[in-house]
Structure 1
Amino acid sequence: MDLLQLATVTALCSMTALIANMSASIFHDGLRPILPQVAQGNMQRKEAGSIAFGLSIGFTVSVGLSFTLSTGLLNPWLLFLPTDVLGVLISSRWLAALAGGCWGAFVVTALVGMDALFTAMPVDMIEPMAEMAKPVMTVLALFPLLAVFKQFGWHSGAICGAAILISRLFVVQFTSLPPEAIQMLVGVLVLIICAIRQDRRDRKNGIVPADMSSIHPLYDDRFKQLKANLPLLAITGALIAVVTNAGYLAGSEVSIYSLADAYKLEDATAQYTAITQVAVAEVFRGLGFAPLIVMAALTTGIYGMVGLTFVFVVGYLSPNLAIAAALGAVTIIIEVGLLKKISRMLEAFPSLRNASDNIRDAMNVLMEFALLIGGVLAVMKMGSTTGLTLFAVYYFLNETLGRPVLKIAAPAAATILTGLSLNLFSLLGLFAV
């Protein structure tokens, strides 16, 4: 067992449970409105813990567990949703911290056992699961195009699509740069231009942004609360960056499969290039979620557990653990310091705020699509058309049952179940490896 992984993940989960207990930060956005009530004594922790468990258990089991089993990398859904529950439920700060640390240690220990089990099976599941990563980055690089289509219509979407296609062809033909990173950049630039043009057109037509000045005093009060908790938030940011830099934690569903693929590269230059490309995708995802996180922080006084998610980018790109820790803490401090300025900008440019919503939706749709393709590739490598048949049965069974496993996690869950089924059939003599 990797002792560094055990120590850092345990410390991180201990800290996240502690700050959740203090109502300083939370991972699940749905819990933010209830935490002030807990802090003020208007809601019992038992009731709040029950709500937290109900909101989190589905995400933990579906997205959290399935993504970790299929990549070997930990993810925030698996680590931080349970520490949310423990922090909210337990009244003592130190008991909450201890319980969070125990959860982190359990996850690391269980992951080692799962990997050993999968490796010992007659039908290989580890190598085929790497196939799930192949379509992810290519498909996700199209998120600006889908966002432009949704927000500005097919004319603007056609222009964006042409710009993305031309940039990709040029990069592939004449450079050694990652084409996905360039096409994301081109697509985002087109999206920003479309948003600014829309706001200017609205102002010209007499449509002005809504006046939000009446709520600014509330923002000021909540901002003071955030600043009071800043030391703990900075420590958490440092730990997240360290665990990410060490290669144990993937920031999000956007990065986890591509990151797992990058870590398998033996050439150092190729690996760094691949990780940089992942970091670029993570930056754009962070921009898409920033408005939601900023406004929620300023209305509740409770920050997101991973901030604006740029702390993951710092972790990916830092040269060592010490620098990752320092930059992770600094990133959170800068983010909190800029919250009010970001909120003012979002008030002045409503189309940019709406664009962020469309970016977030586009990423979810494309991720579902990419993982479905990746799942098909993986099960075909495990068991050819028999694997595909089982995969389809499990995937559509989930759809028929009302999606007890979230749609974004369903391909990974179906892939794991297919691999386990093929191994069972192999042991029974019903399937030849």
Structure 2
Amino acid sequence: MKGFLIASVRSGAGKTTLSLGLMTALARRGLKVAPAKCGPDYIDPAFHAVAAGRPGVNLDSWAMTPDQVAGLALHQAKGADLLVTEGLMGLFDGVGHEPGRTGSSADIAASLGLKVLLVLDVTGQSTSAAAVALGAKLLDPRLTIVGVVLNRVGSERHRRLCSEAVEALGLPVLGALPRETAVELPERHLGLVQAEETDDLRRRLDTLADFVEHHIDLDRLIDLCEDAASPMAAIATPLLQPPGQRIALARDTAFSFVYPHHLTGWSAAGAEILPFSPLASEAPDPTADVCWLPGGYPELHAGAISAAGGFLDGLRAFAAEKPVHGECGGYMVLGTGLVDAEGTRHAMAGLLGLETSYERRRLHLGYRRARLFSNGPLGPAGAMLSGHEFHYASILTTGGDDPLAEVADAHGGAPAPDGSRRGLVSGSFFHAIARME
């Protein structure tokens, strides 16, 4: 494997801007770019896929075993010239204390032997930027920093002062990006506006690539990327077993949060994915074995979903005979009602007793470990899953349904019943990432 991992010491420093610009610029040069994203993220991989012209993948050292991470990375890098990985949050930020299993970007870089391209937001500092770079260089002896990119540089003098201080540490400065709001992508409450919803995305990515090419020495970056010692592992089985042979998958702008490694793994295992659009009032294929409603933004489309009679009637008919599972937003749609940000209640499928509200936003965020109470699409009773939760909805009532699983967070909290199940229908706010070994 040959590649690098783009990281910073905090969120909002410019990792995504640089990642998308680099992926697009390198792909335009004719290189085969394999994109990857550290951590539990659904939105960035979709942008990566457009920028690189190749599907993205998530790599997660907390939710996945080292062999699973290595297998996914090797599969992703197969036939590519460069594995370009975007980090999450700060380079060293994670949870727990198990070495190599904190979920940090540093763990992924170390386990795969990837050098780190460090993005430094130098707003409000000059020579002091070197102190940050030095800390990143020394904190984790497993890592090697291949180079530094300065971001939000205010002037040529500012660039020179920062560059001289960083390069005095023996770290090459490969470029400096000036402050430029024109290259920023639109955002909403869960991150970037989705790739499929971003107007003129191809033009935006080309603009980012032009911006990056003009300010970064790409030839030097490529030359500094040595081959990483490929971990000896391969994907033997999907990280989550296919819930059925034929899977009806809700897929549109309201239902888009599904991990790429699940779709790839299910297909590789011989399962057939049958997408349908609830927003277009399409029903799940009645010949499918199971229906899967991923997360997404149902709170932004609640009125349209409530009025989609073809979808709701078809879903209810399907659920009378075959399993249906909903994650996060899909879980909300399986309930009886959803209150939007303006306080208006919209009737949902009514297959679970769940009532949710987005009127008073409250952040729910973090890793989860779940033990299933009964057999279902996620696996057999007693199966242990790793997952992640990220939403702003509140549960008004679960309507007395049985819980789906016993769920604990990553910080030592006591496990508690969570999710819902009624007949063949199940759902939860946590997104399953992998079956625990």
Q: TM-score, normalised by structure 1?
A: 0.24
Structure with bigger helix share is: 1
Q: TM-score, normalised by structure 2?
A: 0.24
